[in-house]
Each structure stands twice: as C-alpha cells, then as structure tokens.
Amino acid sequence: MTSRLALGLEYDGTHFQGWQTQPSGASVQDHLERALAQFIGEPVATVCAGRTDAGVHAKGQVVHIDSVVDRPLWNWVRGVNAFLPPSIRMQWASHVDANFHARFSAKSRAYRYTLYNHAVDSPLQSRFATWVFQPLDHLAMHAAAQALVGEHDFSSFRAAECQAQSPVRRLLSAKVNRLDRLVTIDLQANAFLHHMVRNIVGTLLEVGNGKLKRGSVKAILAEKDRRAAGMTAKPEGLTLLEVYY
C-alpha cells in the first residue's frame, strides 16, 4: 500500500545546480532521488516546497514522496543520509495525509539573505553570506522594505524568465537586522516569484549604501518594471529557512 511521507532537508547549495533535476545529475533533487532509490530499492519521485537556484541553501526545505516501503521514520532519516553527500542531510521524516502536497499545501515560506558587511571579506563567511564592503545603513533598509509588505504586483522584482502565471504575491513580513558585521534580510510570503528575494535584496542594498532614498522602493514597486529595481543579489547569501503549513 502506498503512503505519503514528508521529508525535511537541509543543504549547502554551493556546489549544486539548484534544486530541480538537471541533465548533468548535479542538482539537489538528483542526489536525493538517487539516495532514495538506493535506500528503498526502486525509483521514487520527489516534490519540493520551493525550488532553490544554483548556489542557494536550505535549512527547512520540505519534500514529499509516495512509497510502498514501510520503515520506521528514524530509519528513513539515517538510511537515506547514508547515501547522500555530506552537504545534503535529511533532518526528519513524517507520515502525512495522501492529500498533503509539499508545494501547494504550504501557507507561506521564509527566506533569509545574509550580508557580510566589512571592509575585508571573510573566508569563514563566503559560502553563506555575500560580502559588501561599503558601510550599510540597515535601519534605512528595514524602513524601505516595509513598502513591500502586503499584497502587490511584484513585477519590478521578477526575473524575466519567471514562469509564474501571476506576479501578485503577499509579503507577510520584511525585517532587516544587524549583528556586528552580519546584516540579515528576512522575508516571509505566501509564495515568491523567480529571483524575487534576490532582486529585493539588490534594491535594498542601494538604499543601504545611499544610492537610493528609502522612499524609492515604493515607487519602484509601482513601476511594475524589472528595469526599475536594483541588481540581482548573488545566490550564496540566500537560504530557505522554513516552510509553513
């Protein structure tokens, strides 16, 4: 009898070609599906809550699978991890209803973008934070980000290759904080467009370094034109923190 399982994943995305399966077999999904096949002895398809780009990390990625194999949940975690590279780890497994869907059942997703803000880069931070040497005003960045909270057309922060049918998303919260040299940008939304977080971060960086006034973000949002916003921030600073159901 087939049953559905939800799996919680954590991974360092530095050397993977994003989540989605690739011809090269070098994506997170490729590695996970190979490990699952080795563990249960047959191919299995995976569905994730949010497709991360190449170089992007995850602390709370959620995946669902359907399998006829019945094993203790702890056995799924230890067994599958034995076939995964060290940069990918299953953190938990849980039985879920047959109608649970990792992507479509999600109510919201939370991402964190981390900046290392110092005159000199740090080799201990470079895998998980983007280096910015110009001084950043994180309070101005936080104030500017509040214009994005709510339900809006986020076309100004949408990648040209985005395949979503609608550019409308509901941003639940936007917070910018600083702890010593680390500046974190936390965004939670019902869903995100392709590169939406990284494009928002690129725009907020221009507020932080003084190139843009904090009130400019509201005007950029109203433009509904990608050309109005800032650059696409690098992938290494981005982590999928949590998926809420």
CB 100 within 8 A of CB 64: yes
CA–CA separation, 232 and 197 (whole Å) = 9
Burial class (CB in 10 A: 0-12, 13-18, 19+), 97: exposed
The string of DSSP letters for 24-73 reads TS-SHHHHHHHHHHHHHSS----EESS-PPTT-EEEEEEEEEEES----H
The string of DSSP letters for 184-222 reads EEEEEES---TTHHHHHHHHHHHHHTTSS-TTHHHHHHH
Q: Assess whether 53 carries a catalytic annotation.
A: yes
CB 130 within 8 A of CB 198: no
Of the residues 30, 53, 70, 225, which is catalytic? 53
Residues known to be catalytic: 53
